[in-house]
Structure 1
């Protein structure tokens, strides 16, 4: 349930030179090997993606939980912004369908467990049914085929091979999030252009293709080596990277780039709520937990009262549990209450600073 979250001190850098982008990332126009992770639910704003491009990295818009129309509007905003820099440097992440069906009785029991908390925000859970949807998957894929973006990445599940080919034919590079060598081989066999290899230390939802099985706690460097021994496509490393030393270590293990998320959450460009940002800076919060309590799918969050109360009773079931708890979490955020929101955070969350995204990414690349 828990993990040691004390961020390691940076060891002396082997070089004071700024790290340079290479491979596919350089081909897209990036100058540093940093990717701003797609953080669904609000944190990954167009402003954050634009700031990543301005720094010389690549930012990924989070397509999850948005309607196709909302996503299209954000793509248009980012496209216009990067064009002003003379770039075409951004991407979009989608949740590929990989549902976790929920037991009807378990859903009813969890609804009852949440009822008292919901009432504190004047919310009723009467006549709430388990909502199983695919996040408007087909419509979003069609939109990205008809209006291509430089990079499309997938999380949660493997898309059909024909979807990968459609996006590539439209001109997009396609990346798949994986958490172990077997998943890497499956994705590589589908013809994706690259992999995002995510360690267990990542904040928010795990990208595992098997959410019912705990992700093995393998250090990122070892995980990169294991995946690299089985596949021959470019790899972007993710999960717990929050310092220049962490970036250099990932690149030393043949990752083309480092994907960072939690370290950007307190930036002014982040769309994380006020209580979310404050909780990340709260020195009394010292523990992250992998839990299904908020969404029915394993995700790493800072421990709070919601976790303490519901972690042990929450069922697996995605997206049904996500939809069930979403109104409570939104009401808590509006009430500035950090105890009933999902404070997604990787193990390096202590390195999150209240400074611009561009400054954070350049520092991680060794530029300042």
Structure 2
């Protein structure tokens, strides 16, 4: 019998501890997912940066090592129409950096892409039948979502406002990830592009809990047992943790990202649209300081990153995204398994004292 005070997420997803390892495109590895699963959490594999074949291979590797519940995470944005004028303005904005760093300004701009959830991805879900499917930027269109739910998968998605949470419940989500402004990586906002609508986790979670009937998962600024206990006290049934897992040896991050995580101050993160075209929280670096973290010249998601690729190749620390949440200073150099076990055991110990 579980000693957790709220077992709704445990029962819904078939996991042992109320922790979801966040799906972090580019940083999450199959080893991280497997270790999180073995520690009793929900392991999450991000699909946005993988081809269908790569995702199938990743699931095969995970399932050979673990039979525990698996979450496949997808972006469900609409690819923007071509806008050559905006693309040119953006590259012109970056031209001084090309000249300084010796990058070829006249070469074709590399393509920056993120795969949205589509028929091919839906067919893969129908074939692989993960226990959980989560989405970012809302939900896919109705017929695709119906096919996902027909597989028996539990459906999660991120809400950054109460209005988004209510919308997600009305459209079939089995649980809602309440994503506070503290969270690293891409904001899940989808009903509005207004960053003034984005609020902190402590204000967001209880309001979402009051507004919906499905279980709520708290995400943003949670990196230790204190954060887990606080989220549960606010009414969340579980937590989703991302940045803390970037410190594990299973994370696939660059040397620059590794260094920044361990040396940046908690105040040195900001929301930026420079790297993809959608707001995402990362550690402030040179290009964010000099162009401003939110720049109206950046092309629409996911195309902004293409023109930065040649600069990143010359100066990775200054021109690559260093995603991190506001609780980065709480990160520990532990393995994924040990981190998950420590978080759950320390949280339970704190809960038992109350």
TM over 0.5: yes
Aligned pair 1:351/2:330, yes or no?
Answer: yes
Query: How has the CA–CA distance of structure 1 residues 235 and 111 changed in structure 2, closer, same or farther, with 3 Å as cutoff?
Result: same
Does the aligned pair in 1 maintain the 2:49–2:115 contact within 8 Å? no
Aligned pair 1:363/2:347, yes or no?
Answer: no
Residue-pair matches, total: 343
RMSD (Å) for aligned C-alpha atoms: 2.5
Does the aligned pair in 1 maintain the 2:161–2:198 contact within 8 Å? no
Displacement of 1:283 in angstroms is 4.6
Aligned counterparts, 1:190-201, within 5 A = 190-201=171-182
Query: How has the CA–CA distance of structure 1 residues 59 and 125 changed in structure 2, closer, same or farther, with 3 Å as cutoff?
Result: farther
Aligned pair 1:318/2:297, yes or no?
Answer: no
Report what 1:14 is aligned to. none
Higher RCO, Cα 8 Å, sep 6+: 1
The whole-number CA distance in structure 1 between the counterparts of 2:112 and 2:12 is: 41
Which of 72, 77, 80 lines up with 1:97 in the alignment? 77
Does the aligned pair in 2 maintain the 1:48–1:357 contact within 8 Å? yes
Which of 115, 120, 123 lines up with 2:95 in the alignment? 115
Q: Secondary structure at 2:74's aligned position in 1?
A: strand
The whole-number CA distance in structure 1 between the counterparts of 2:97 and 2:10 is: 46
The whole-number CA distance in structure 1 between the counterparts of 2:82 and 2:182 is: 26
Q: Secondary structure at 2:251's aligned position in 1?
A: coil
Aligned pair 1:35/2:20, yes or no?
Answer: yes
Query: How has the CA–CA distance of structure 1 residues 222 and 164 changed in structure 2, closer, same or farther, with 3 Å as cutoff?
Result: same
Query: How has the CA–CA distance of structure 1 residues 101 and 328 changed in structure 2, closer, same or farther, with 3 Å as cutoff?
Result: farther
Aligned counterparts, 1:323-338, within 5 A = 323-329=306-312, 331=313, 337-338=316-317
Displacement of 1:262 in angstroms is 0.6
Q: How big is each residue's C-alpha offset from its partner over 1:303-352, in whole Å with a ceiling of 9 and x where there is no partner?
A: 111211233644251111133334543x25xx7x4222211010001112
Q: How big is each residue's C-alpha offset from its partner over 1:106-148, in whole Å with a ceiling of 9 and x where there is no partner?
A: 3211112223434636454534388777546331122112221
Report what 2:37 is aligned to. 53
Q: Secondary structure at 2:17's aligned position in 1?
A: coil
Q: Secondary structure at 1:365's aligned position in 2?
A: helix
Q: How big is each residue's C-alpha offset from its partner over 1:253-290, in whole Å with a ceiling of 9 and x where there is no partner?
A: 22111000011111101111121111111156841111
Report what 2:164 is aligned to. 183
Q: Secondary structure at 2:85's aligned position in 1?
A: helix
Q: What TM-score results when the alignment is normalised by the length of structure 1?
A: 0.85
Does the aligned pair in 2 maintain the 1:35–1:258 contact within 8 Å? yes
Aligned pair 1:234/2:234, yes or no?
Answer: no
Report what 2:352 is aligned to. none
The whole-number CA distance in structure 2 between the counterparts of 1:325 and 1:283 is: 22
Report what 2:47 is aligned to. 63
Displacement of 1:186 in angstroms is 1.2
The whole-number CA distance in structure 1 between the counterparts of 2:146 and 2:274 is: 36
Displacement of 1:103 in angstroms is 4.9
Aligned pair 1:44/2:31, yes or no?
Answer: no
Which of 261, 267, 278 lines up with 2:242 in the alignment? 261
Aligned counterparts, 1:274-313, within 5 A = 274-283=255-264, 286-311=267-292, 313=295
Comparing 125-134 with 246-255, greater Cα deviation is found at 125-134
The whole-number CA distance in structure 1 between the counterparts of 2:330 and 2:110 is: 40
Does the aligned pair in 2 maintain the 1:90–1:149 contact within 8 Å? yes
Gapped runs of 5+ residues in structure 1?
1-16
The whole-number CA distance in structure 1 between the counterparts of 2:56 and 2:302 is: 22
**Between Structure 1 and Structure 2, which shows a larger proportion of helix residues?**
2
Q: How big is each residue's C-alpha offset from its partner over 1:193-224, in whole Å with a ceiling of 9 and x where there is no partner?
A: 11111011110110000463105353313211
Report what 1:4 is aligned to. none
